[in-house]
Structure 1
Amino acid sequence: MNTSMPKRTLNICMVSDFAYPALGGVESHLYNNSQCLMQRGHKVVIITHSHGRRQGVRYLAGGLKVYYIPAVIVYSNASLPTFFCTFPLFRQIFIREQIDIVHGHQAFSTFCHEAILHARSMGLKTVFTDHSLLGFADTSGILLNKMLKFTLSDVHHAICVSHTSKENTVLRAALDPQQVSVIPNAIIAEQFEPQEEARDPRWITIVVLSRLVYRKGIDLLIAAVPRICQLCPNVRFVIGGDGPKRIDLEQMREQHMLQDRVELLGSVKAADVRQVLVRGDIFLNTSLTEAFCIAIVEAASCGLLVVSTKVGGIPEVLPRHMITFAAPEEDSIVDSLLEAIGRVGDRHNHPELSPRRFHSQVKKMYSWHNVAKRTEIVYYKIIDIEEPPLIERLRRYFGIGLVAGKLFCLIAAADFLLGMLLAWIWPASKIEIARQFSSEKYEHILANNKSHNLRHADAE
C-alpha cells in the first residue's frame, strides 16, 4: 500500500452490535481505533444497538458520537435481523453525518451486515473487520459463512486481526487474499501497568476475565479449577465476566466447597479490568476458538504469565516466554497450569518473568496509533475506487450459489429499489446535516473545568 498519499480527512461510520458499555475485544477495538482515527483528523461516529436505558445519541470521551438504536437482542448481544427495516434510519445517519466510509465489525453482528448492505445501495465505500474464527462443519458456521460471503462479495476491503483469521476469512468467503489486510488489535499500555504490591503473597492467584459462554471454553475451566485447587493448596482463582455459563461455575464452587478459593466477580467494567489483573500471577484463557484474544495482551502488560489454549491466532500474539500453551483439553490445561504455577512460585530463578519487563515489551509491540494509521491506509486505498453499476453488483451476488445466489440478488435489488424510494420520500437535501464537533472547544472546556476544580480545592 502507498503510505505517501496526501492527507485527506474522512467521515467514517463504525457499525457493530458490540460496543461500549459492553465489555470485550471487539468493543475495545471499536472504541480505541475510533479515538485514534479522530486524533488523526478524521470524523468518526459509531452505530450500535441500545444497551438498557442507553438509547439515542451519546458522546463519549473526545467527542466520539455514538448512535444507540433500539433493537431486539436475540443471542449473545447480537440484534434480531430485520434486513430492510434499518435502512431508513441508517440512511438518515449516513447523510446527516456526511459519511464517506462505512466500516462494519464482527461476523456475528447483524447491524454490521445490514449497514454494509444499505451503504452499498447508497454507493458508499465499505470495509469489514473480522474478529472471529468459525468452522465449516456445524450448522451455525455454515449459515454464518453464507451470510459473510454475501456481505463480503460487494465490500471494498476486509481486515482481519491475525494471519490465521485472514486464512479463515478468505476460505469462508472465497475472497481474493489481496483484498484482505491483517491489522492486529492493540492496547493502551499505559492503562495496564503492573502493580506488584496488589498481589497477595500468601497465594498464587490465577485470573480469568472472559465472557462466560461455551466458545470461551468455560466447561474446560469448570473441570480444571477443582483439580488445580486439590493439587495446589496455595492457589486461588479470581474469575470475572458474565454469561450463561456463570451458573455452572457457581454450582462447581458449591459442589467442591471452594468459596474461599474461587472468587466470582460477575461483570467487570472496562475501567476496572486492570484492578482485577494486577491481583494475579497467572492469566488463564481457555477459549475453543479465538482470532486474536486481546485479553492475554492486557494481562501480559500487567505482568501476568499467560496460560492459554493453542487455538486460532493466539500463537501469533505473544513471545514464547510470556505464554504457556495447552491443547483445548482438560488434562492439558491442568498440566500447563501446574507448569506455570511452578515457574511463578520460583520467580527469582526466572528473571524473564519480571512484570516490568513484560510491560515494556508489550508496550513496544502493540499500539492503537499504529492500528489507526494502518486502517487509514486501507481507507485511502478504497476511497476513490470507481463504483460499479448495479448489474455488476448483482453478478457478484449471483455467483455465491445456485439457490443462495438468486436469493441474495433479490435482496440486493430490493434494497437498491428501497433506497431509491427513500430518496424520493426523504431527499438528501431535506435532511439536516449534523454540526461538526469542535475538539478545540471541547479541550477548552475541559481545561476551564480543571482550572475551576483546582481553584475550588485550594479555597477549601
Structure 2
Amino acid sequence: MHGEKPKPRLKKRHVICMASDFFYPNTGGVEEHIFNLSQCLIKKGHKVVVVTHSYGDRVGVRYLTSGLKIYYLPVTVMYAQCVLPTMICNIALIRYILIRESIEIVHAHSAFSVMGHEVSIIAKLMGLKTVFTDHSLFGFADTSAVLTNKYLQMCLCECDHCICVSHTGKENTVLRAKVRAHKVSVIPNAVDAHSFTPDPNQRDPNVVTIVVISRLVYRKGVDLMAAVIADMCPRYPNLRFIVGGDGPKMWLLQEIREKGFQHCVSLLGSLKHSQVRDVLVKGDIFLNTSLTEAYCMAIVEAASCGLKVVSTKVGGIPEVLPEEMIYLTEPNVNSLVAGIEKAMQDLKDGQFLCPYECNARIRNMYNWENISNRTEVVYNKILLNKNKSLGQQLRSYLTSGVWPFLLVISLMYLLLKLSEKIYKRDNIDIAKDYKYKE
C-alpha cells in the first residue's frame, strides 16, 4: 500500500574471530588496532573473540573491557613473539574454538603473525570467511623479504579480502603477495583523540623540546636519530630531546648521551601506552626518523596532542597528515636537521596551528567509529562470496608455485576430518555468553 512505510532493513550481526600473535599484554600498533576495533564492533552489537598465543602465565580464556573474550592458546613462542609455523599441530584446538564460538568471519592481522595465517587457512577449510589486515611494508630484495613474501602469497591465495592501512601499503601488498587489487581495501588506523589531548601548560617555555617515541630498531631510523642529536645539541644550547622506547639500538643513544649531552637528552626507556600522552604534551616538536612505514600511529598521536611533526617522507607517511601539520624530509641527516630548524623557526615566529584545533581535526580524520563502519562494509561484502570445494582451494594455492604446500593443505584437511570423527561437532558445547544473546 502507498501509505505504508517500508520496514527498515536489519543490520547483519557478525560473529568475528580476531587472530594474531600480537595482542595484550604485548604493546604496539597491531595490538592497539585489534583491541580498539573489537571494542567498536562489540558496541555495534557484533560478537568478537580474539585468538592469540600464551604470554607467560597468561594461558586460557580471559575477558577484557566490554566482555571481549580472549583465547590465549598454550603454544610456545619461537621468535619475535611469533609461534612456529607447523600448520597442523593446533588444528583440533583452533577448530574447537571456531565451532564453540559459532565464528563466521576470521580476521587475521599482521604479515608476521603465523597464528593469524594458520587460523585463516583452517577457517577456509571449514567453509568460513576470512579477512587479512596488513600493517607493514616489506622490501623485495633481501632473503628475509623474499621468504616472507612467498609465505604471505601462499597464505593469502584463498583470503576473501585484504585490508591495508595506506594506499602505499596496498600497492606493496598487491605486488609482494600477488593479491588482486580489487580484493584489497584501504582502511587507515585511528587514534583516540579524546585520550591524546593537548596541554600546552606542560611545556617548558625556556627550551625547545623534541619528543621521540619509537621502538629503537634499525627500521625506525635510530642511526639517523642519533646523528641528528649529535649534530644539533652542540649548536642549540636550548634544545632538549626526550626519547621514549626501548630496543636493540638503545646503546647507540646511550653512547651519544655519554659524550657530554646528558643535560639535553633524556632516555625514558619502555613506556606503557597510557604513559605516552603525558610524555608527548611536554614537547614542542615530534620527530620521526623511520626508514619504512605503512602508517605511523605515533605521528597521529603527536599531532592530536598539538605537537609540530617532523618526519621522514617514506612509505605511507605522506598520506597520513595534511601538509600544514607535518614537515616532511628525506631520510638523511641534513634534511632532517633542516626540517627541525624550520619547525623551530615557525615555533619562534608563532606560525603554527592551535593545539586544540589540531586535536579537533585529528578527531574528525581518524576515529575508530569510522574505521569500524568501513570494516563492517568489508564483512558484509565477503559474506556474499560462495564457498569453494577442496579441489578449487587447491587450485588457488597452486598459483603460488609452491607444490609441496598442496600436500600441507591436504594434510590439514584430512586432520580436520579426523577431528570431526573424534570430536564431533554435535558434542561441542556452543558458548552461551549472555552479552551476545539476540
1:304 and 2:307 aligned: yes
Partners of 1:74 and 1:337 lie apart in 2 by: 41
Give the CA deviation at 1:78.
Answer: 2.5
1:27 maps onto 2:31 in alignment:
yes
Deviations 1:45-71 (A, max 9, x none): 111222333322221111111122233
Question: Is 1:275 aligned with 2:272?
Answer: no
- What CA deviation, in whole Å up to 9, does each residue of 1:190-221 have, x standing for no partner? 11110111112222111111111111111211
Q: How many percent of aligned residue pairs carry the same amino acid?
A: 52
Question: What is the deviation of 1:5?
Answer: 6.9
Cα pair distance change 1:88/1:385, threshold 3 Å: same
The correspondence of residues 78-227 of structure 1 with structure 2, limited to 5 A, is 78-227=82-231
Residue 420, structure 1, aligned to residue 423, structure 2: no
- Higher helix proportion: 1
Q: How many residues align?
A: 430
Q: State yes or no: 1:326 paired with 2:323.
A: no
Q: CA deviation at 1:33?
A: 0.6
TM-score, normalising length from structure 2? Answer: 0.95
Structure 1 vs Structure 2 CA RMSD:
1.6
- Report the Cα distance in structure 2 between the residues aligned to 1:14 and 1:20, rounded to whole angstroms: 13
For residue 438 of structure 1, give the secondary structure of its aligned residue in structure 2.
helix
Amino acid aligned to 1:356: Y
| Whole-angstrom CA distance in 1 between matches of 2:210 and 2:134 | 30
Structure 1 residues 283 and 5: alpha-carbon distance in aligned structure 2, compared to 1, 3 A threshold: farther
Deviations along 1:408-433, one digit per CA (max 9) or x if unpaired, are 21111111111111111111222222
1:432 and 2:429 correspond: yes
Q: Report the CA distance between 1:337 and its aligned residue.
A: 1.6
Q: Distance in 1 between matches of 2:206 and 2:80?
A: 38
> Could you list the per-position Cα deviations for residues 284-323 of structure 1 after superposition, in whole angstroms to 9, with x for gaps in the alignment?
1111111111111111000011111111111000000110
After TM superposition, the score normalised by the length of structure 1 is: 0.90
Shift of 1:437: 4.5
Q: Secondary structure at the match of 2:341?
A: helix
The CA distance in 2 between the partners of 1:53 and 1:282, in whole Å, is: 40
The answer for the alignment partner of 2:404 in structure 1 is: 407
Secondary structure of the equivalent of 2:24?
coil
User: Which of 138-147 and 220-229 deviates more?
Assistant: 220-229
| Matched letter for residue 330 of structure 1 | V
- Alignment correspondent of 2:369: 369
Could you list the runs of 5+ residues in structure 2 that have no partner in the other structure? 1-7
- The answer to whether the Cα contact below 8 Å between 2:47 and 2:436 also exists between their aligned partners in 1 is no
**SS of equivalent residue, structure 1 residue 230:** coil
**Aligned-residue offset at 1:6:** 4.3
- Opposite residue 289 of structure 1, the aligned amino acid is T
Mapping of residues 340-379 of structure 1, within 5 Å? 340-346=343-349, 348=350, 350=351, 352-379=352-379
Take 2:336 and 2:75, find their aligned partners in 1: how far apart are those partners? 39
Maintained 8 Å contact 1:26/1:106: yes
Alignment partners' CA distance in 2, 1:374 and 1:270: 25
Partner Cα separation in structure 2 for residue 343 and residue 418 of structure 1: 64
Q: Is the 8 A contact 1:63 1:437 kept in 2?
A: no
